Amino acid sequence: MKVASIQVEIKDTESKEQRIERVEAMLDGLAGTDLILLPEIWATGYFSFDRYHAEAEPLDGPYVERFAKKAKALQTHLFAGSFVEKDGDSYYNTSLFFNPDGDLIGTYRKIHLFRYGSAEGQLLTPGKEISVVKTPFGNVGLATCYDLRFPELFRKQVDMGAEILLITSGWPHQRLAHWNLFNQARALENQCYLISSNCVGTTKNVVMGGHSQIVDPWGVTIASAGEQETILKAEIDLQQISHIREVFPQLKHRVLPT
């Protein structure tokens, strides 16, 4: 299975439309890829809190329609990262997952809103539902950035059948060591493939961390990006998931003492 993670540079001088057009051009070069990922609130810029409400859209708005068409044109599963969703008087950090027919087969409203040096928790409403999506290549768990610090979310996804974990993120360089650790740990402890997409660049005086990753169910990073805008590509063997879970059945050995 061919997968690709687009590591997008966030530039304060770039408008939402300019960035979308630039990323669409990158997507157009990925025909033949089975699964493509994008980062967290990449079109607006995660740390551009002053733009959140002005650039928010509903789920039936032009932003979602645009990437539904792109997934269909590329005939790929597209985890289009997240955007600021407006629903009534509430705003959410919502990620989008499309199938090759352009259908929106999964959404996830970020549950753990970041509040350390971030206005996200003040501007947005936390989600309440865990998302695991059935696809022809397996059950996919959707998560966003800060969620990586909360292992119980991913264990719940595994209990719901997750085999692949997709992470959209705007993780800063300041805590890059944590990012690298969590990418491997969440894959290893849940015996899942984990694929992440992070941002790069300096935005609102915050240096973004990059290092988007593809990690196998043994917790081994099989591909990792650096700190520049790039497209991270790899081929993964989905049979490894059931094989590893069979030969080393740690998930069956869980004990929760009462």
Q: Looking at 40, 85, 120, 163, which residue is catalytic?
A: 40
CB neighbour burial string for 132-148, b if at least 16 within 10 angstroms, e if fewer: bbebeebbbbbbbbbbb
Q: Looking at 70, 85, 86, 110, which residue is catalytic?
A: 110
Q: Looking at 9, 85, 120, 145, which residue is catalytic?
A: 145
Q: In sequence order, what are the beta bridge partners of 96?
A: 107
Annotated active-site residue 134? The verdict is: no
Match 């549950």 to its residue by tokens: 111
Q: Which of 243, 244, 74, 82 is nearest to 170 (CA)?
A: 82
Annotated active-site residue 40? The verdict is: yes
Give 117: exposed, middle or buried? Use CB within 10 Å, 0-12, 13-18, 19+: exposed
d(CA 193, CA 222): 10
d(CA 147, CA 245): 24
Annotated active-site residue 246? The verdict is: no
User: Catalytic site residues?
Assistant: 40, 110, 145
